[in-house]
Amino acid sequence: MTAILGISAYYHDSAAALLVDGRVVAAAQEERFTRKKHDPGFPSRAVEYCLKEAGISPAEIKYVAFYDKPLLKFERLVETYLAYAPRGFRSFCQALPVWINEKLFTRRNIRGKLPGYRGPVLFTEHHESHAASAFFPSPFDEAAILTLDGVGEWTTTAFGVGRGARIDLTHELRFPHSLGLLYSAFTYYTGFKINSGEYKLMGLAPYGQPIYADLIRKHLIDIKDDGSFRMDQSYFNYCEGLTMTSRKFDELFGGPARQSESLVTQKEMDLAASIQEVTEEVVLKIGRHVHDVTGQKNLVLAGGVALNCVANGRLLREGPFDRIWVQPAAGDAGGALGAAWMVWHQLLENPRTPARPDAQSASYLGPAITANEAATQLDAAGAVYHTLDEPELLDQVARLLADEKVIGWVQGRMEFGPRALGARSILGDARSPQMQSVMNLKIKFRESFRPFAPCVLREHVDEYFAMRPGEDSPYMLMVAPVREEKRLQHPRTDSGVPEAELEGIEKLKVPRSVIPAVTHVDYSARVQTVDRERHGRFYRLLKRFHAVTECPVLINTSFNVRGEPIVCTAADAYRCFMATGIDALVVENHLLLKSEQPVAQEHGRAGYLAQFALD
C-alpha cells in the first residue's frame, strides 16, 4: 500500500488530501472542522479525518507532500522588500515573525503533527500543485493546462500540457504581475474581503456597466494579444504595504475604497462590471494563445481565478477548446490534492488511466454521515424527526419544495471545495419569484444582490440553459445564459415598472424567466448538472421534484449562513436549521419540520450569527 498525504496550509483554506495506491480516499478543508471560515492553520483535523477514512495511522503513510515551497516564497518576500526598501518595512516586520516561527520550519511542523511518521516530506511548487490537481483527476489523456491565481512562490500564471501520467508547465507570468491580485485589488477597493469577497464582486458585476474598463486598460494593465500583461505597480500597494491599492488608485477612481458593510452604490457595481470585463478579456486571450501553442483540444484549469465561473463559461462558449475541466477545489485547498497527485505520478512514475467521468468522485470526498450517527446527534440536540424510507422521504421533500418551503439537505460525504453540490445544501424552488430574496435575507443573511445557482437534471440541461445536450457541469463552475424560450417577454416588476427603467439593485424586483430565482439580472446562471451515476439520492430527489412539478431545476446553495463554513455534521446542520428560516431539514433518511421542533431548542439568531466573522 502506498499512502500519500497532501497538505496545504498557512495562507487560507488549509486542507488535507489522501491518495492510497493512486485513488483519492479523502480530502477536506480544515474550516469544516474548526468552524473558522478559510482557516489558514495547519489542517490537523482534516489530516485526522483523512487517516480515519483510510483506516491507517501516520506510521503507515509513505510520503507527505506540501503544496508549495516555503523557501522560495520567503525569497520572494525578502527580494520584494529589498526592491521597495525602505518602503514596506512595516509590512515586512509584520510578516517576519510568522515566517521565523512557523513557515520556514514547515517540514519540522509536519513531523511534529504526525507522530510516528518516518517518511520524507516533499515540496512541490505552488503552480505544479494546481496543475496536478486539474489534470490528473480530469477525464483527459491529453490536455492543455492553465493555472491562474494571486501568486505562488513567484509564478502567478502558468500553462503547459498534461499527457498520460506527466505534466509539463512551459510558460509563466511572474509576480507582481497577477490577474488574481488585480481582481483582489478591486475586491478590496469595493469594500469586500480579499480571498473571500471575489465571489461577491463577480455576482455584483451584472448590475453595473463597464464604464471603467478602458481606464483599467489604459492605466493599470497592459494586455498583449497573447494574454500576457504587465501592471503599473504605482497604482497598487501589495508589494510594500498593508493594503491592496495605493493613493494613486484612489485618485484614478475618484475617492477612497468603500468601507466594509456600507451601502453598495452604482459606482461599486460599475467597477465590478469593469474588472470582470477585463478579466474575461485576459482569460479569453490567454486561452486562445494556450490553444495555439499546445494544439490541444481539451483544457484543464485551476488556481483561484479558475473559480471565476463567468470567465470559464465564456471560454467554453467562445474559446477554441472542445471541453474544459476545472478542479472543483481550484484554490489553495485543492493544492493539497495536487501535491499528492504529483508524488504518485510525477515522482513515483505510476501510470495513469483517465477515469470517466473523472477521478474526483463528484467531489464528495469529505466525512460521511450515516443514518445512525445522524440519529444520535439529533437525539442529543433534542430534535424531533421522522425516519422514512426513501420513496416516502423523496415524495414529501419534493412536495415541500413545490410548496415553496426551504429545505436543508445533508446526505453522505461532504463536498471538497467551496461549493455545496448536493451533500450539504440548502434547496428551494427555482420557479418562485420571491425565493431569491427570501433565501438571501432570511436564511443566508447575506447581501441581497448575490445570485443563487441552479441544479438541473443533466438530461434536461439544454432545455433551460444555452448548453449542449447532456453537457457535464457537475461542479457549478460554468455560467451559461438561460435559454431565450425560457425567458419572460417584456419583464416588469409586480407594480408594472419595465425592467429598462430600473437601475442597480432595483433590477432584482423583476422576474426574468420561468426559473426567476436562479436567473441573474443578465439572464445568466451558474449551472450544476446532476446525474444518476454520481449524485445518488440527490439525483433521485430532483427526479421526484420533476415528476411533481414538471420542472427539473432547483436552487442549490451552500448550507451555512454568511461567514460560516459549510456544515459538516448533523449537529452543525441542526444548529443552523434552528437559527435560520429554513423550513425543513433532511439528514440522511430523517426528516425534521421546523414547526415540530421544541421551542426551547430555538437558537437566538443574533447569537448564532455573532459566532462567525463577516466574509
Q: Which residues are part of the catalytic machinery?
A: 12
Closest CA to 327 of 4, 5, 15, 568: 15
Q: Are strands 15-20 and 407-410 parallel, antiparallel or unpaired?
A: unpaired
Question: Which residues partner with 230 through β-bridges?
Answer: 222
Burial class (CB in 10 A: 0-12, 13-18, 19+), 72: middle
**Cβ-contact 115, 268 below 8 angstroms:** no
Q: Which residues pair with 429 in a beta bridge?
A: 554
User: 485: exposed, middle or buried (C-beta count within 10 Å: 0-12, 13-18, 19+)?
Assistant: exposed
**505 Ramachandran zone, left/alpha/beta (phi>0; psi -120 to 50):** alpha
Amino acid at residue number 368 = A
Separation of alpha carbons 455 and 132, rounded Å: 28
Cβ proximity of 368 and 374 under 8 Å: no
- CA torsion sign for 438, 443, 445, 449 is negative
Angle at 419 between CA 380 and CA 260, to 5 degrees: 95
Cell of 6: 497532501
- Cell readout for 301 is 484549469
Contacts of 424 (CB under 8 A, 6+ apart): 409, 410, 414, 415, 558, 559, 566, 567, 568, 573
Cα 133 from Cα 595, distance rounded (Å) = 44
**Which stretches within 369-517 are classed as H helix?**
371-380, 390-402, 435-438, 461-464
Grid cell, residue 157, equals: 500564471
CB 407 within 8 A of CB 577: no
- CA-based Rg of the chain, rounded to a whole angstrom? 24
Measured CA to CA, the distance from residue 290 to residue 143 in angstroms comes to 11
Cell 470567465, residue located = 311
Q: Answer whether 274's CB lies under 8 Å from 211's CB.
A: yes
CB-CB contact of 360 with 137 (8 Å): yes
Integer angstrom CA distances of residue 314 from 262, 317, 318, 481: 32, 5, 6, 10
Q: Answer whether 113's CB lies under 8 Å from 5's CB.
A: no
- Rounded to whole angstroms, the Cα distance separating 144 from 138 reads 11
3-state secondary structure of 400: helix
| 8 A C-beta contact, residue 37 and residue 196 | yes
What does DSSP assign to residue 466?
S
Chain position carrying cell 446553495: 557
What are the start-end ranges of the H helices in 102-144?
106-113, 126-135
